[in-house]
Structure 1
Amino acid sequence: MTGWTADRIPDQRGRVAVVTGANSGLGLATATELARRGAHVVLAVRNTAAGAEAARRIAGNVEVRELDLASLESVREFATKLEVDHPVVDLLINNAGVELLGPRRTTADGFELHLGTNALGHFALTGLLLDNLSAARGARVVNLSSITHKNAHLDFDDLQFVRDYRGTTAYGRSKLASTVFGVELDRRLRAAGSSIVSALAHPGLTRTNLTPRAWEHRGRVGKVLATAGLLVTQRVEQGVLPQLRAATDPEVRGGDFFGPAGWGETRGRVTEAKLSSDAADPEVGKKLWAAAEELTGVRSI
Structure 2
Amino acid sequence: MSSSLTGRTVLVTGATSGIGYETARLLAESGATVLVHGRTAEEAQAATDRLIATAGVSSTLLRPLAADFAHFDEVESMAQTVVREHPRLDVLVNNAAVAAPERHTVTPDGNELAFQVNFLAHYLLTNLLEPALTTDPGGRVVNVSSSLHRSAAIQWNDPNRTRRYSRLAAYAQSQLALTVFAADPRVTAVSVHPGVCDTGLLSLYGHEGASAADGAEHVVRLCDPATEIVNGAYYDRSERVAPAAAATEERTVKRLNKLADVLVGHTA
TM norm structure 1:
0.81
Cα distance in 1, alignment partners of residues 140 and 3 from structure 2:
14
Look up the match of 1:294. Answer: 262
Structure 1 residue 253, shift from structure 2 partner: 2.6
Cα distance in 1, alignment partners of residues 157 and 100 from structure 2:
23
Moved over 3 A (4+): 134-138
Which stretch shows the higher mean deviation, 54-63 or 132-141? 132-141
Cα distance in 2, alignment partners of residues 82 and 165 from structure 1:
35
Look up the match of 2:35. Answer: 42
Task: Decide whether the 8 Å contact of 2:38 with 2:66 is kept in 1.
Answer: yes
Structure 1 residue 234, shift from structure 2 partner: 1.3
Cα distance in 2, alignment partners of residues 148 and 33 from structure 1:
26
Give the counterpart of 1:277 among 225, 245, 260.
245
1:272-298 alpha-carbon deviations (Å, 9 max, x no partner): 132001112111111111111111133
Structure 1 residues 1-301: aligned runs within 5 Å: 7=1, 9-58=2-51, 59-60=57-58, 61-134=61-134, 138-184=138-184, 187-189=185-187, 197-211=188-202, 229-230=207-208, 233-248=209-224, 249-260=226-237, 270-300=238-268
DSSP 3-state at the match of 2:5: coil
Which stretch shows the higher mean deviation, 41-50 or 16-25? 41-50
Q: Residues 137 and 274 from structure 1, CA distance in 2 versus in 1: closer, same or farther, beyond 3 angstroms?
A: closer
Q: How many residue pairs end up in the alignment?
A: 260
DSSP 3-state at the match of 2:108: coil
Task: Decide whether the 8 Å contact of 1:30 with 1:244 is kept in 2.
Answer: yes
* Amino acid aligned to 1:274: A
Task: Decide whether the 8 Å contact of 2:23 with 2:213 is kept in 1.
Answer: no
Q: Which runs of 5+ in 1 are unaligned?
A: 1-6, 190-196, 215-225, 261-269
Task: Decide whether the 8 Å contact of 1:200 with 1:243 is kept in 2.
Answer: no
* Amino acid aligned to 2:211: R
Cα distance in 2, alignment partners of residues 155 and 65 from structure 1:
33
Cα distance in 1, alignment partners of residues 165 and 4 from structure 2:
46
Look up the match of 1:222. Answer: none
* Amino acid aligned to 1:251: E
DSSP 3-state at the match of 2:92: strand
1:112-143 alpha-carbon deviations (Å, 9 max, x no partner): 00111101000000000011014655311111
Q: Which runs of 5+ in 2 are unaligned?
A: 52-56
* Amino acid aligned to 1:235: S
1:15-34 alpha-carbon deviations (Å, 9 max, x no partner): 11100000000100110011
Cα distance in 2, alignment partners of residues 236 and 164 from structure 1:
32
DSSP 3-state at the match of 1:298: coil
Q: Residues 49 and 22 from structure 1, CA distance in 2 versus in 1: closer, same or farther, beyond 3 angstroms?
A: same
* Amino acid aligned to 1:288: L
DSSP 3-state at the match of 2:82: helix
User: RMSD in angstroms over aligned alpha carbons?
Assistant: 1.8
DSSP 3-state at the match of 1:31: helix
Which stretch shows the higher mean deviation, 87-96 or 48-57? 48-57
Task: Decide whether the 8 Å contact of 1:89 with 1:135 is kept in 2.
Answer: no
Cα distance in 2, alignment partners of residues 122 and 246 from structure 1:
18
Identity score, percent: 31
1:2-56 alpha-carbon deviations (Å, 9 max, x no partner): xxxxx3x343222111000000001001100110111111111103222222112
Task: Decide whether the 8 Å contact of 1:246 with 1:256 is kept in 2.
Answer: no
Task: Decide whether the 8 Å contact of 2:182 with 2:231 is kept in 1.
Answer: no
